[in-house]
Amino acid sequence: MSELWSLFTRGGLVMWPILLASVLALAVALERLWMLRRSRVIPEATVRQVLRLVRGGKIAEAREVCRHDGGPFSRIVVAGLEWWSQGFDAVREAIADAGRREAPKLMRGLGIIGTVASVTPLLGLLGTVIGMIKVFRTISLTGPGQGQELSAGIAEALLTTAFGLTVAIPALVVHNLLASRAEQLVVDIERACHQIVRSSGDQPSSTGSESLIDVEQPVARG
């Protein structure tokens, strides 16, 4: 640990923004891992119970189950169940509106991780430039014979690049994994909502494959 701290301090001031960025990315990643648990977003027991109640015509009971669960899937479904008596079109539109509100919440925070993955290599490059400036400044003032001062500048240049990449590579991997998980959860919510919408009984067969939840794609993956 002391050796790592020694390397960190030799990297200069640019190491601090890289460290702060890494802490931020880690905090967001842990929060997203917790919030994107399937058992929280779309619990299988709730899906089965709501489908059973809807197919049995117990719409009020299904609404209560969704309100008690309180997850993203349940909030979307309860919006449709509120309009159940108005027919398929009203139910479908209510679910679509609720889905457009809920889906971006699943993507929340991914932009921060993506930004960290993009910015930390640039911070490392900035540190490299600063270190090389120090090297050439030392050479211009004292000549090439000052090996210790030259090595300090070169070390600063290399360490910032290394630390920047050390943060950026895991951040990019985590961003892509979380984005894939969020997208899959949206697809699963949409599939479950389709099952519930079909239970309205007057659904035209041509709408079975249309998307209920339309959401923008998350930050482009590097």
What pLDDT does 128 receive? 87
Give 222 or 161, the one with higher predicted confidence.
Answer: 161
What type of residue sits at position 46?
A: T
Domain ranges of the chain: 2-207
What pLDDT does 203 receive? 44
- Report the 3 state secondary structure along the chain: CHHHHHHHHHCCCCHHHHHHHHHHHHHHHHHHHHHCCHHHHCCHHHHHHHHHHHHCCCHHHHHHHHHHHCCHHHHHHHHHHCCHHHCHHHHHHHHHHHHHHHHHHHHCCHHHHHHHHHHHHHHHHHHHHHHHHHHHHHHHHHCCCCHHHHHHHHHHHHHHHHHHHHHHHHHHHHHHHHHHHHHHHHHHHHHHHHHHHHCCCCCCHHHCCCCCCCCCCCCCCC
- Span 105-125, average pLDDT: 94
- Span 216-220, average pLDDT: 49
pLDDT at 97 over 80: yes
What pLDDT does 12 receive? 82
d(CA 108, CA 177): 14
**Among 35-39, 122-126, 216-220, where is mean pLDDT lowest?**
216-220
- Span 153-181, average pLDDT: 91
Mean pLDDT of the chain: 84
Q: Residue 86: pLDDT band by 50, 70, 90 thresholds?
A: confident
pTM of the model: 0.80
Query: pLDDT digit string (tens) for 174-217?
Result: 999 999 999 999 999 989 988 888 875 544 333 444 556 655 54
Give 125 or 149, the one with higher predicted confidence.
Answer: 125
